[in-house]
Amino acid sequence: MKLVVVGLGIQGQKRIKHAQKNELVATVDINNKKADYRTLEKVPIKKYDTVFICTPDNVKIKIIEFCLKQKKNFLVEKPLLGKDINLERISKKCIKSKIVGYTAYNHRFEPHFINLKNYLKKKKIGKIYYCKIFYGNGTAKIVKKSPWKDTSDGVISDLGSHLLDTVNFWFNCNYRNFKMAKFKKFENNSPDYVNLIYQNKSLFIELEATLCMWKNTFRCEIVGSKGSLSIDSLCKWGPSKFIYRKRKYPSGIPKETCLTLQMKDPTWKQEYLYFKKLIKNKSYDNFRSDKIIKKIIGNL
């Protein structure tokens, strides 16, 4: 892989940190003087085959269109939601031109998210009754100072898109069953708190996200007929705990298995390796989850 990273903000710096040195051939940023080039068009076409798009939302589609035209693989930071973004067209173009396109949702690679998925596959907790997830950080003031972040959907597309991607990964949800329970604008022009509800005949999901939580917090609880699964914190905020509780009949203290991880955030490296695997396996159609998330937020 011959890689160009476009955008040297927080996400771009993380991508550079976890890229293999012999694969990173150039950096691009219109404002950062340390970048090798101001625009992607200035980078010699033969120098690279892959682009990581770590830019503000309003320029993502322009860079994606350039990658499609030049037949370059691309990873774009989440979310991919703009009105000018036609995911169906992008997906078909990738398949036709044999380009790997992928939207980065690094939480998919949290070890405990994968553990939980495996427990669900094995039906360890029986029939799923409900799932509740809370995701909060204290970035409201940082977002307010940004010329582009404090616009439109706010926390709904920021942290909310992560949660929607996660429950799609675990449960394969139908986008029509999501409803907006409430949202608030406590400190921002855009929503900085949101509560979403999903409900069908067999499953209830509640998703809560906010930029007004002064201690970074992630909590998940899934309850089923035979037990429950919990996640407390992400690896980046550690320690991160995964708890499986086996129900005791008719009631009482359940048998509990707890796995605690204290480690640096592994998700960025794992996502990098996953993207390389997509290229190796010639996996050209990777926008299914994006289409669902866009429909959900569009409906909301």
**Residue type for 20, please?**
Q
Instruction: List b or e across 228-251, with b for residues whose CB sees 16 or more CB atoms inside 10 angstroms.
Output: bbbbbbbbbeeebebbbbebeeee
Q: What is the pLDDT of residue 238?
A: 86
pLDDT band for position 300 (cuts 50, 70, 90): confident
Show the tokens assigned to 278.
């997509």
Q: Which CATH number fits domain 3-104+268-285: 3.40.50.720, 3.30.420.40, 3.50.30.30, 3.10.150.10?
A: 3.40.50.720
Instruction: Name the residue ranges covered by the structural domains of the chain.
Output: 3-104+268-285, 111-265
- DSSP of 137-171: -S-HHHHHHSTTTSSTTTHHHHHHHHHHHHHHHHH
Return mean pLDDT, the chain. Answer: 95
Is 90 a residue whose pLDDT tops 80? Answer: yes
Nearest Cα to Cα of residue 88 among 245, 232, 290, 251:
290
Q: What is the pLDDT of residue 223?
A: 98
pLDDT tens digit sequence for 32-68: 999 999 999 999 999 999 999 999 988 999 999 999 9
Share of the chain above pLDDT 90, in %: 90
Q: What is the pLDDT of residue 175?
A: 76
- Contact yes or no for 87/40 (Cβ under 8 A): no
pLDDT tens digit sequence for 251-278: 999 999 999 999 999 999 999 999 999 9
Q: What is the pLDDT of residue 237?
A: 96
Q: What is the pLDDT of residue 26?
A: 97
- Tell me how crowded residue 189 is: count the other CB atoms within 10 A of its CB: 12
Mean of the pLDDT values across residues 295-300?
89
CATH number for the region 111-265 comes to 3.30.360.10
Q: What is the pLDDT of residue 84?
A: 83
Q: What is the pLDDT of residue 225?
A: 97
Is 295 a residue whose pLDDT tops 80? Answer: yes
pLDDT band for position 176 (cuts 50, 70, 90): confident
pLDDT tens digit sequence for 97-153: 999 999 999 999 999 999 999 999 999 999 999 999 999 999 999 999 987 788 889
Give the span between the Cα atoms of 224 and 154, in whole angstroms.
Answer: 32
For residue 69, give the 3-state DSSP assignment.
Answer: helix
Q: What is the pLDDT of residue 239?
A: 97
Alpha-carbon separation of residue 182 from 134, 209, 300 (angstroms): 14, 11, 10
pLDDT tens digit sequence for 219-228: 999 999 999 9
